[in-house]
């Protein structure tokens, strides 16, 4: 056990984690020859296309140090704020972390929040300054920032480059010298922490775990503590580039188990595996439940696909434990699921993965957050969907979730960023200079204001330099109203939103204008109205596509023309009574991008 090291790589988005992981795998000869490619651990097409890591990936390496062979278990993690749950799971399975900081960009918001997460879990931090081969690198200034942040001596900071391979051997030596060996008792009853799982259509569900105490062998009769289910370990092994079977996995090591589990409900991330014959008294503590931030309805385009969508979501949830869902129905879209995501990028990725991995075509409704609604009697209900709101006369007040946000930026962009945050009802708490021309601004903001387009706008006004991180802070009362969109007097529940009183009229007007552009013209007039309760606040009309019925009248009496027009008018009126208006998927998506 003393020769095992478990560590993860944490950093802000695009600071070179995956490239550095490639070099580690290459220098330890874990991946050689034709298997070596850029970002070797990013095995999803989606990750390669977008150049981001979506899933954390575990892999085992062997390294000789001073004549002894060491086993290094590496977990590469995502950097985007929407996937911070993946990072928290990786950190739970490790004893040390490589903190990667880009020599050209310096410390960013996500660097700080991931660092705090690692410190809370008592991980040994090894600071690595990456990309020092770049012409724009500022190694000395960034070194000052790291010393200020970590309080470590300068000589502890390793200068490296994932591209050229400089400093990689130093990193490997530092991992062995500084990261503590896993603690645990090989003689104690078995306890394994599940930190991830995947679905394999041939072998059922494969769970990835770290052995905290005891030893697990092939053929053991095991039990999952949280679900209480029992299985036989058909195969156990370690994670190389492919899965590599072993006869046993000992304390402190990371591996996988295949036991022919068919249903996804039986494997929960954070669960503990133990032996049936000699069970552990308790599960392993300290694994947090995920709290979704953004809710949206996901509906199959063809209503017969409802059960397939459920199966697809369950399989996806195995691999992405931060996705939560429950069934709901909508008048416009039929049966579907109310899904909880960690953010908008997460929502986009889930939609894309449903399409690619499970061939599911889905419609996603406008994202919103959960509110606490208090009625006149003092009862509180949680509302995720504007259609679940009680009658306005029964509501006493509504509390909405506020986040504590920190934005790190160059001083040149402070003005526009403050304007953006104040426009989103933000409350400035403090601003502090980190170093030179970098400043950190702290805001309290309503989550509902940032779920749609805040991140994109922040990136564009700061030319991509500002970085943003947040966590849920508390719920506060605010004046919210339900804005309904009516087509020919019929409400479209998928387009309803909860919005602040001050923004409601302008938002309603913009929504009507946008829908007028997107809804195709029919044979009859379509009235698009925005309403708060019974009060109409905006209206647009889509004119009917008309046939020129008077074209055949050459000259003659005006009454002939009028007769034809009246006849047409009657027909249009009948059509309007029985006609329905199809709202295209584009219209649902355009509402998200309203400026």
What's the whole-number average pLDDT of the chain? 79
Work out the pLDDT band at 41, boundaries 50, 70, 90.
Answer: low
pLDDT at 543 over 60: yes
Cα 144 from Cα 218, distance rounded (Å): 51
What number is the average pLDDT over the span 210-214? 82
pLDDT of residue 383: 81
pLDDT of residue 585: 62
Give the CA angle between residues 444, 445, 448 to the nearest 5°: 155
Work out the pLDDT band at 464, boundaries 50, 70, 90.
Answer: low
pLDDT at 321 over 80: no
Work out the pLDDT band at 276, boundaries 50, 70, 90.
Answer: confident
pLDDT of residue 550: 77
pLDDT in tens, 54-82: 777 778 888 888 888 888 888 777 767 66
Work out the pLDDT band at 526, boundaries 50, 70, 90.
Answer: confident
Q: How many CB atoms lie within 10 A of CB 229?
A: 16
Work out the pLDDT band at 287, boundaries 50, 70, 90.
Answer: low
pLDDT at 152 over 60: yes
Work out the pLDDT band at 104, boundaries 50, 70, 90.
Answer: confident
Work out the pLDDT band at 349, boundaries 50, 70, 90.
Answer: confident
What number is the average pLDDT over the span 550-562? 80
What number is the average pLDDT over the span 571-589? 67
Please tell me the pTM assigned to this model. 0.70
> End-to-end alpha-carbon separation of the chain, Å?
57
Q: What is 215-250 written as a DSSP string?
A: -EETT-EEEETTT--EEE-SEEEEESSSEEEESEE-
pLDDT in tens, 441-460: 888 888 887 776 777 778 77
Work out the pLDDT band at 288, boundaries 50, 70, 90.
Answer: low
pLDDT at 356 over 70: yes
Task: Look up residue 580 and give its two tokens.
Answer: 């329905």
Identity of the highest mean pLDDT range in 12-16, 199-203, 309-313: 309-313
pLDDT of residue 37: 64
pLDDT at 576 over 70: no
What number is the average pLDDT over the span 411-416? 84
pLDDT in tens, 424-443: 888 888 888 877 677 888 88
- Single out the residue of 125, 180, 133, 131 nearest to residue 157, CA to CA: 125
Cβ proximity of 395 and 375 under 8 Å: yes
Out of 162-176, 279-293, 363-377, pick the least confident: 279-293
pLDDT of residue 462: 76
- Burial bucket for residue 544 (CB in 10 Å: 0-12, 13-18, 19+): middle
- Residue at token pair 């400089």: 166
């Amino acid at each position: 056990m003393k020769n095992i090291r478990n560590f993860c790589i944490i950093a802000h988005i695009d600071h070179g984690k995956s490239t550095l992981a490639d070099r580690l795998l290459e220098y330890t000869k874990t991946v050689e020859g034709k298997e070596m490619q850029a970002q070797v651990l990013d095995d999803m097409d989606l990750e390669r296309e977008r150049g981001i890591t979506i899933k954390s990936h575990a892999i085992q390496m062997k390294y000789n140090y001073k004549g002894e062979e060491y086993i290094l278990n590496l977990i590469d993690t995502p950097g985007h704020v929407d996937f911070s749950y993946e990072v928290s799971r990786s950190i739970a399975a490790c004893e040390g972390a490589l903190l990667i900081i880009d020599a050209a960009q310096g410390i960013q918001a996500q660097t700080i929040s991931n660092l705090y997460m690692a410190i809370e879990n008592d991980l040994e931090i090894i600071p690595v300054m990456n990309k020092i081969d770049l012409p724009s690198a500022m190694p000395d200034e960034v070194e000052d920032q790291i010393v200020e942040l970590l309080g470590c001596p300068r000589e502890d900071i390793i200068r490296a480059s994932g591209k050229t391979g400089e400093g990689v051997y130093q990193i490997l030596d530092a991992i062995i010298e500084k990261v503590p060996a896993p603690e645990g008792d090989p003689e104690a009853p078995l306890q394994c922490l599940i930190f991830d799982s995947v679905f394999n259509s041939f072998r059922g569900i494969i769970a990835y775990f770290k052995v905290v105490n005891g030893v697990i062998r092939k053929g053991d009769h095991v039990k999952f503590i949280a679900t209480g289910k029992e299985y036989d370990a058909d195969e156990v092994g370690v994670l190389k580039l492919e899965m590599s079977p072993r006869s046993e996995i000992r304390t402190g090591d990371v591996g996988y188990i295949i036991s022919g589990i068919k249903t996804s409900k039986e494997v929960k991330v954070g669960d503990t595996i133990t032996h049936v014959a000699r069970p552990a008294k308790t599960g392993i503590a300290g694994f947090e439940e995920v709290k979704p931030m953004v809710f949206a309805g996901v509906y199959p385009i063809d209503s017969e696909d409802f059960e397939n969508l459920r199966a697809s979501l369950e399989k996806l949830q195995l691999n992405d434990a931060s996705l939560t869902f429950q069934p709901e129905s909508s008048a416009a879209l039929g049966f579907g699921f109310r899904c909880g995501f960690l953010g908008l990028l997460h929502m986009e990725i889930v939609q894309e993965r449903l399409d690619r991995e499970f061939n599911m075509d889905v419609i996603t409704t406008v994202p919103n957050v959960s509110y606490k609604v208090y009625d006149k009697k003092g009862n509180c209900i949680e509302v995720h969907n504007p259609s679940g709101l009680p009658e306005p006369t029964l509501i006493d007040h509504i509390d909405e979730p506020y986040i504590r946000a920190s934005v790190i930026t160059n001083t040149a962009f402070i003005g526009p960023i403050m304007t953006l945050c104040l426009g989103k009802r933000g409350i400035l708490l403090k601003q502090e200079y980190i170093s030179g021309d970098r400043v950190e601004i702290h805001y309290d903001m309503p989550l509902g204001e940032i779920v749609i387009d805040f991140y994109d706008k922040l990136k564009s006004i700061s030319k991509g330099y500002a970085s943003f991180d947040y966590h849920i802070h508390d719920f506060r009362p605010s004046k919210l109203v339900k804005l309904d969109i009516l087509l020919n007097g019929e409400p479209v529940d998928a387009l309803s939103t909860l919005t602040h009183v001050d923004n409601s009229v302008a938002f309603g007007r913009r929504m009507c204008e946008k829908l007028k552009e997107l809804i195709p013209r029919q044979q009859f007039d379509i009235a698009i109205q925005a309403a708060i309760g019974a009060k109409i606040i905006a209206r647009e009309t889509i004119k009917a596509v008309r046939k020129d019925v008077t074209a055949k009248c050459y000259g003659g009496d005006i009454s002939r023309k009028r007769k034809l027009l009246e006849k047409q008018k009657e027909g249009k009126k009948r059509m309007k009574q029985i006609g329905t208006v199809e709202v295209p998927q584009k219209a649902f998506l355009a509402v998200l991008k309203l400026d």
